[in-house]
Each structure stands twice: as C-alpha cells, then as structure tokens.
Chains A and B, each alone.
Chain A
Amino acid sequence: MHIEHESPRSGRRGTTSAGRTGWLRRSLERPAVHECGTEPDPRFTLANERTLLAWNRTALALIGGGLAAGKLLEFSSSAGRLLVALPPIVLGTLLALVSLRRWEDNQRALRLQQPLHTGGPARLLAGGLVVVAVVFAIIVVVDVFTR
C-alpha cells in the first residue's frame, strides 16, 4: 500500500516505499530548501538561521578547546595529549554536520507549515559531553598514577 505524504525531511511528495532508500540518496534527491512550500514569516527564518549559527559557535568552541587542551596541557605521554584533544574536536565536527542538516530540516518544516524537529544536535552534544568528560577523567587519573 502506498501512502501519500509530504515530509520536511524529504521536502517532496513521496511514498512509504521511498522511505526505505538510503539516507545519502534521500539527501541528494531532495529539492533545494527554497523550492518546497511557501515563504515563511521572516522572523522564523531568522530564528532558524541564528540557531544554526549558535550551534556552529558551539562546534567552534569544542574545536578550539580541543586544540588549546592539546597545546597547553602536559601529560606524561603523547597519547594522553591526543586522547584529551581529539574527542572534543571530533564532537565539534559531528555537531557542525548535524546542525546544518537540522537547519535544512527545520527550514523545510517552516515552509511546509509542519512541526519543527526536536533532539538532534542537543542530544548529540549532551551525550558527547558525557563521553568527553569520562574520557578526560580516566586520562587524568591514569596520568597521575603513571608519573
């Protein structure tokens, strides 16, 4: 059975069978943001844009923090320095990718007058920060006992 639907993730009319195709294919096939629906209230467009920029700054803070930690903190081994610097940089990379995707989904939802998505980068950041904090704690404890 084929059910007609219009999703902000696809941005076009499709069928449930189309939902089984891969994420990359769906991303490439979907039309540009400004091609679906109608122009929303400019205030919502601006709010969506500011939200992406805020996530981008969060990603930059993680990247800069990772770099600074790798440069300034001293560990007994170079592996310790890498393990402290890399997780926030990787988390920042993921955040930049997910937030751009989220902006596109939300802009489509605004144009199609559908509800906005929840979760996404916020969930990633919360989970990622827990992982980074645990890794930091383990490295610091190990470094203290191996000096």
Chain B
Amino acid sequence: MSSRDDEWDAGVAVERTALAWERSGMSMIVVAAIAFATGAERQQSWAVAIASLLALGGAGAWGHGRLTYRTRRPIARVRAQPRALRIQSLQTLAAAALALAMMLLPPG
C-alpha cells in the first residue's frame, strides 16, 4: 500500500468511526422513543422520565462522534476511548433495565 493509500484509508477510518458514533446515538434515541411511548401508554411516569434521559444520552453519543472525530485530525493523534465506550455500554444497559422494569411492573 502506498503512503497516499495509507493517508486515504486513515481519513476514511476516522469518518467511518464518526458515523458509527452518530448511528449509535440515533439508535439510542429510537429505543428511548419506543420506551417513552410505551411508558406514556402504560402511565408509567418514571419510565417516561428515564426514557427522556436516555434520549439525551443518545444525543450525547451523536455529539461525541461529531466533536471527537470530525475535528480530530490527523489520525496519528487518535487514541482508544475507554471512558466514552463504557458510558455508551452503560447507557445500553440502562435501556435494557428500563425495558425489563416496564415489562415486569404493572401499569401506573
């Protein structure tokens, strides 16, 4: 692979990662919207509140992708982001816990 190919690949790798973060944020917002609608229908106000927080978390992940990777060039400065990835995984676990609680607890 020539150095020009390396440079091109490095550029699109950063862009692909930014897009992956943005898709993850949007996925979280969609799940939060489903939880919001289900909570509102079942009159579970606590679920509606938590779903709203999850939607904000999704927006945060979307913004993280944009801010971190759209502005961070060249690729040599890219480092692993354990904290951001752990927060994203925790949000997913929170969404799962919310979904389980909504299914198992009776309507409010």
Residues of A in contact with B (beta carbons under 8 Å apart): 32-34, 39, 42-43, 45-50, 52-54, 56-57, 59-61, 63-64, 66-68, 70-71, 81-82, 85-86, 89-90, 92-93, 96-97, 99-100, 103-104, 107
Q: A57 touching B24 by the CB < 8 A rule? A: yes
Q: Determine which of A34, A56, A97 lies in contact with B24 in the assembled complex, contact meaning CB atoms within 8 Å.
A: A56
**A to B CB contacts below 8 Å, 5 in the list:** A43-B13, A47-B13, A57-B24, A67-B99, A71-B37
Task: Tell whether A67 pairs with B35 under 8 Å between CB atoms, given A56-B24, A56-B92, A59-B92.
Answer: yes
Question: How many A-B contacts are there with CB distance less than 8 Å?
Answer: 123
CB-defined contacts of B104 to chain A, threshold 8 Å: 82
CB-defined contacts of B37 to chain A, threshold 8 Å: 71
The complex places the Cα of A98 from the Cα of B1 at a distance, in Å, of 34
CB-defined contacts of B97 to chain A, threshold 8 Å: 93
Q: A60 touching B95 by the CB < 8 A rule? A: yes
Q: Which residue of B lies closest to A39 (CB)?
A: B79
Q: B102 touching A67 by the CB < 8 A rule? A: yes
Q: A93 touching B96 by the CB < 8 A rule? A: yes
Interface of chain A, main secondary structure = helix
Contact count band on B: 35 or more
Q: A89 touching B99 by the CB < 8 A rule? A: yes
Q: B27 touching A99 by the CB < 8 A rule? A: no
The complex places the Cα of A44 from the Cα of B93 at a distance, in Å, of 26
Q: Determine which of A46, A61, A68 lies in contact with B27 in the assembled complex, contact meaning CB atoms within 8 Å.
A: A61
Q: Determine which of B28, B35, B82 lies in contact with A34 in the assembled complex, contact meaning CB atoms within 8 Å.
A: B82
Q: Smallest CB–CB gap between B66 and chain A, Å?
A: 14
Q: Which 3 A-B pairs have the closest CB atoms?
A: A42-B78, A93-B96, A64-B31
